[in-house]
Amino acid sequence: MIVALAGGVGGAKLAHGLALAATGSGSGAQPRVIVNTADDFEHHGLRISPDLDTVLYTLAGLANAETGWGLAGDTFTTLDMLARYGVETWFQLGDRDFATHLLRTQRLRAGWTLTQVTAAFTRALGVEADLLPMCDEPIATMVETPDGALDFQDYFVRRRQTDDVRGVQFTGIEQAHIPEGVRAACAAADLIVFCPSNPIVSIGPILAVPGMRALLQQVAAPRIAVSPIVGGRALKGPADRMLAGLGHAVSATGVARLYQGLIDGMVIDQVDAELAASIEALGMRVLVTDTMMRNERDRQRLAREVMAFGAPGIS
């Protein structure tokens, strides 16, 4: 069984590839995906979970292929009406997407945990993989900029990632607990995959949950990371600018250093082949391949290569 750590579009794509590879192999062992929830926030009185929903919609085959987030073919008449009332609509929520947030908020207020809500959503949408929130407590990513601290969605969506990043904090992380489902998944894993997600604000919050690093260090399963930086740039999002602003090398080697002590191997793109030696010097094995996921075929191919590299017995 494979456990994946994921957040954002890149993480959702590889998680989908792992699910497709499991289906194609006939093993029936669908991945368990631990998802970042530090991007979650309140908006229009609703609890929004951007990364959980991106992974959910992608695994369900419902994601908007052009944006990577939201639902394919969604409409925005509710948002249009809110704009007529003078409400700011900088965060795009489609009409069908609203249903997810309405139901999540209703169930959380009724006493459900985020883990329980997410499990119900996956079953309802026919997703066989398990989606596991990194914790059930509300966490908020705060981005420190020259203009002061910004809520992550203000930085990421409203201000379009234009601010220099001087620091990142996860408010409330000290009170977070690892859910039992996450512990059980890690204990039973044959392979743990760090998806090509932003190492600072997607994978970083997962690793910041108290006890998570120790849990991952203690597992018997191989741990493999896929670099989200290709040719010195992030394929999507602000990971490259965040790494630079925080003093890290904007390269696959820079990402490997952030994960040093947590992973056994690193998967990098073929354009970064010359970095293999510097990553191996950190004590990691390296696989050089095409890490671009342009379509479902690429997602499944990369997933199979990661599985064969990390744990040949399950590929």
Q: What pLDDT does residue 29 have? A: 81
Determine the residue type at 44. Answer: H
Res 26 pLDDT > 90: no
Res 272 pLDDT > 60: yes
Contacts of 180 (CB under 8 A, 6+ apart): none
d(CA 272, CA 276): 7
Res 18 pLDDT > 90: yes
What is the rounded average pLDDT for all residues in the chain? Answer: 95
* 3-state SS string for the chain: CEEEEECHHHHHHHHHHHHHHHHHHCCCCCCEEEECCCCCEEECCEEECHHHHHHHHHHCCCECCCCCCCECCCCCHHHHHHHHCCCCCCCCCCHHHHHHHHHHHHHHHCCCCHHHHHHHHHHHCCCCCEEEECCCCCCEEEEEECCEEEEHHHHHHHCCCCCCCCEEEEECHHHCCCCHHHHHHHHHCCEEEECCCCCCCCHHHHHHCCCHHHHHHHCCCCEEEECCEECCEECCCCHHHHHHHCCCCCCHHHHHHHHCCCCCEEEEEHHHHHHHHHHHCCCCEEEEECCCCCCHHHHHHHHHHHHHHHCHHHC
Q: What pLDDT does residue 27 have? A: 57
Query: How confident is the model over 207-251, as pLDDT tens digits?
Result: 999 999 999 999 999 999 999 999 999 988 899 999 999 999 999
Query: How confident is the model over 84-107, as pLDDT tens digits?
Result: 999 999 999 999 999 999 999 999
- 315 pLDDT tier (thresholds 50, 70, 90): low
132 pairs with which residues across the strands?
Answer: 34
Query: How confident is the model over 134-180, as pLDDT tens digits?
Result: 999 999 999 999 999 999 999 999 999 999 999 999 999 999 999 99
Residue 222 phi, psi (nearest 5): -60, 150
Which is higher by pLDDT, 267 or 24? Answer: 267
- 25 pLDDT tier (thresholds 50, 70, 90): low
